[in-house]
Amino acid sequence: MSGVVLDGKKINQEILNELRPRIATLSAKKRPPALAVVLVGNNPASQIYVRSKVKTCHELGIRSIEITPPEDTTTDDLIQQIIPLANDPDVDGILVQMPLPKQIDTEKVMSYVDASRDVDGFGLQSLGALVLNRHAPRACTPAGILEMLKRYQIPIASKHAVIVGRSDIVGKPMALLLLHENATVTICHSRTQNLADECRRADILVAAIGRAAMLTKEYIRPGAVVIDVGMNRISDKAEVQRLFAHEPARLVSFEKNGTALVGDVDPKAMKELSSYYTPVPGGVGPLTIAMLMANTVQLAEDHLLQ
């Protein structure tokens, strides 16, 4: 048995293509949608994410505004740069790239991103709307996962979903989105007892814990749908050879680059035991970008077509 790959790149393109006529309508009637991206400092991973987001904006015809304060920016300095964006009628969405440097009060900063521009769906009002299943931007990664499940026509209602990880960015909003689709939801975390037993009960298993290949075959019920949100870089040669012995191309890539990307689930176990699964890379990652663009367009429609 080998699971069917859930192709995040394919779903990404479907979503982006559906956005193009909506963007064209906005541009013809008023103006293009506009997304402001705030990147503090020089975090390499954040820089890669932001470049990808800005590139996608340009490809779609969404106006991109980039704010790049230095690493030593204070909380108050950052707020003073966000306030004009929050008051600008030509800005539809504001994205503050996480994580912020340690000296910055993230919660205080995010309180200045008003709900009508909270493109990431992380603000208090957006999360409250999610709890009540009301109209508001949804956190991009969980929203993308839900979109993928629906487009692959994977049943959700009455299924048992187990989510490993309780972050405000993925775990909690994912649980609520699945709950609104009538799944029975279990959230697991670092203090969950008998974690493997809980995971094996899942029809839909979502791994979002940030630990490389932590979920092994003992955690996966044969036939489960496995969604791997993890993005972990590993450099130990023996570990890479163990995890990717079945993928010679990945071993060649490791020899060239010195690192390999692996999710939170053992890739071989996931492929062999699941009915459907998301590869890493190429699974969940492209969906996050697609849903960010979808949220930006939705906010622009809310602002401009009322």
Single out the catalytic residue among 53, 159, 172, 271: 53
**Is 64:35 a contact under the CB 8 Å cutoff?**
yes
**In whole angstroms, what is the distance from residue 9 CA to residue 13 CA?**
6
Write the DSSP assignment of 58-117 as a string of letters.
HHHT-EEEEE---TT--HHHHHHHHHHHHT-TT--EEEEPSSPPTTS-HHHHHTTS-GGG
Burial of 235 (0-12, 13-18, 19+ CB in 10 A): exposed
Of residues 239, 202, 241, the one with CA closest to residue 223: 202
Catalytic status, residue 97: yes
**Does the CA dihedral 133-88-47-253 come out positive or negative?**
positive
Pairing of strands 4-5, 225-228: unpaired
Catalytic status, residue 29: no
Single out the catalytic residue among 7, 97, 203, 228: 97
Of residues 247, 273, 271, 275, the one with CA closest to residue 261: 247
Q: Is 244 helix (H, G, I), strand (E, B) or coil?
A: coil
**In whole angstroms, what is the distance from residue 300 CA to residue 306 CA?**
10
Pairing of strands 160-164, 204-207: parallel
The tokens of 39 are what?
């990147």
Single out the catalytic residue among 92, 118, 120, 228: 120
Which residues are identified as catalytic? 53, 97, 120
